[in-house]
Amino acid sequence: MRKQIAAANWKMNGNYQQAEKLLNDILSANVILQDHQQAIFSVPSPFLIMAKTEVGEEGGYDVAAQNCFNKASGAFTGEVSVEMLHSIGINYCIVGHSERREYFAESNAMLAEKVNLCLQSSITPIFCCGEPLNIREANTQNDYVAKQLAESLFHLSDRDVQRIIIAYEPIWAIGTGKTATSLQAQEMHAHLRSVLAGKFGAEVANNISILYGGSVKANNAVEIFSQPDVDGGLVGGASLNAEEFLTIIRSLK
């Protein structure tokens, strides 16, 4: 069975003490994960070492960075390199979140560079894709996300693409008042898998976990995660509440 993953994206929220308490509240619940299940905490960069220490050897739990730079090193003040992340034991990194694409103009080509650097340092990219409202309203979302995959991932080998986690974000359903149904999530996830199968083959595509990133909450996680091509969620606001995120973890297949 593909890995079923509850990934918390804390974004730019909280201070050190709040982050430590939130992590402790979640870990102290002692939710035992099965071998095919995983919980990942994507925390702000200043909290990475603390989070990695707190998680320790806890089975099924790990820590992710929220971003990395697309160059190995150099005069890029304020940026964080993949080598830096690797040196503190970080095994996962979000790449291409919709907010990075929108606010920081990250292109598909730039994200391909980030993916390469992560894989070279044995860091698993959590690669985000998804369409904005105008694309969904024009009913061109399938071509839009297929292009994101093609321009950022299709240069990879069969082996390397299976080292990636994909997260689908229906940007039009986040903070807009519009709601994506579980069936809409399934339709897009199935499409993403078919795009991957068209390039890499069905066996490879079926080994790639695809997470849903469209406002997953405690009250909809079971329904969303029950869809056959949905392998968990990339969770934003709900991951900042210990009880909410614990419910989401428990909702994994």
Domains and CATH numbers, the chain: 4-250 (3.20.20.70)
pLDDT at 214: 87
pLDDT at 177: 63
User: Minimal CA–CA distance to 61: which of 44, 45, 43?
Assistant: 43
- Please enumerate in sequence order all residues whose Cβ is within 8 A of that of 199, keeping only pairs 6 or more positions apart, or say none: 150, 154
Distance CA 111, CA 108 (A): 5
User: Minimal CA–CA distance to 164: which of 178, 179, 152, 182?
Assistant: 152
- In this prediction the pTM is 0.96
Please name the residue that has the structure tokens 């390199």. 81
- Please enumerate in sequence order all residues whose Cβ is within 8 A of that of 18, keeping only pairs 6 or more positions apart, or say none: none
Query: How does DSSP assign 108-141, residue by residue?
Result: HHHHHHHHHHHHHTT-EEEEEE---HHHHHTT-H
Pairing of strands 92-95, 61-65: parallel
Question: Annotated catalytic, 169?
Answer: yes
Question: Annotated catalytic, 54?
Answer: no
Residue 154 has, within 13 A of its CA and on its CB side, a CA count of 15
Distance CA 200, CA 188 (A): 18
- In the set 97, 106, 131, 244, the catalytic residue is 97
- In the set 99, 106, 131, 169, the catalytic residue is 169
pLDDT at 112: 98
What kind and span of H or E run contains 148? helix 141-153
Give pLDDT tens digits along the chain (253 positions): 899 999 999 999 999 999 999 999 999 999 999 999 999 999 999 999 999 999 988 889 999 999 999 999 999 999 999 999 999 999 999 999 999 999 999 999 999 999 999 999 999 999 999 999 999 999 999 999 999 999 999 999 999 999 999 999 999 888 676 768 999 999 999 999 999 999 999 999 999 999 999 889 999 999 999 999 999 999 999 999 999 999 999 999 9
